[in-house]
Amino acid sequence: MNGRPGRGTPASQGFRMPAEWEPHAATWIAWPHEARDWPGKLPAIRRVYADIVRVLSESERVEIVVQDAAQERAVVRALRSRGADLPRVRTHRWSTDRSWVRDSGPTFLRRPPRGNAPGAVGIVRWKFNAWARYDNYQRDRRLPPRIARALGFPIWKATAAGRWVVLEGGAFDVDGQGLLMTTEECLLSDVQVRNPGLGRSAIERVFRDYLGATSVVWLNRGIEGDDTHGHVDDAARFVAPATVLAVLPDDPASVDRSALEENLERLRAFRTAGGRRLRIRTLPAPHPVTFRGQHLPASYANFYIANHAVLVPTFHDPHDAEALGVLARAFPDREVVGIPSRDLVWGLGTLHCLTQPQPLP
Among candidate residues 123, 267, 353, 354, the one labeled active-site is 353
The closest alpha carbon to 92, from 179, 153, 151, 9, belongs to 151
DSSP character for 38?
S
- How far apart CA 84 and CA 10 sit, in angstroms, is 35
> Residue 345 to residues 20, 92, 224, 303, 327: CA-CA distances in angstroms?
22, 25, 13, 13, 20
Write down all domains in the chain, each with its CATH number in brackets: 11-355 (3.75.10.10)
How many CA atoms are closer than 13 Å to the CA of 174, on its beta-carbon side? 22
> Residue 25 to residues 22, 53, 86, 306, 309: CA-CA distances in angstroms?
10, 14, 16, 10, 14
Res 115: pLDDT: 85
- How far apart CA 142 and CA 2 sit, in angstroms, is 16
Task: Spell out the residues 6+ positions from residue 343 whose beta carbon is closer than 8 angstroms to its own.
Answer: 38, 41, 44, 45, 48
The closest alpha carbon to 207, from 167, 170, 161, 246, belongs to 167
Res 2: pLDDT: 66
Q: In what order do the strands lie in the sheet with 304-305?
A: 304-305, 309-314, 335-340
Q: Do the strands 89-93 and 61-66 form a parallel or antiparallel pair, or are they unpaired?
A: parallel
DSSP, residue by residue, 198-265: --HHHHHHHHHHHH--SEEEEES---TT-TTS--GGGTEEEEETTEEEEE--S-TT-TTHHHHHHHHH
> Residue 247 to residues 19, 241, 267, 289: CA-CA distances in angstroms?
19, 18, 12, 16
Task: Spell out the residues 6+ positions from residue 123 whose beta carbon is closer than 8 angstroms to its own.
Answer: 106, 107, 108, 109, 144, 147, 148, 153, 154, 155, 156
Res 62: pLDDT: 98
Q: Count of residues for the chain?
A: 361
**186 carries an active-site annotation:** no
> Model's pTM, two decimal places?
0.97
286 touches 320 (CB < 8 A): yes
Q: Reduce the DSSP state of residue 328 to 3 states and report it.
A: helix
- How far apart CA 295 and CA 290 sit, in angstroms, is 5
- How far apart CA 127 and CA 107 sit, in angstroms, is 12
User: In 10 A of CB 86, how many CB atoms?
Assistant: 13
Chunked in runs of 10, what are the mean pLDDT values of the chain (361 residues)?
84 97 98 94 97 98 98 98 96 98 98 90 97 94 98 97 96 98 94 89 98 97 95 98 97 94 98 92 97 94 98 98 98 98 97 98 95
Which segments of the chain does DSSP mark as H helices, in order?
42-56, 69-82, 101-104, 138-141, 143-151, 184-187, 200-211, 257-269, 320-330, 351-354
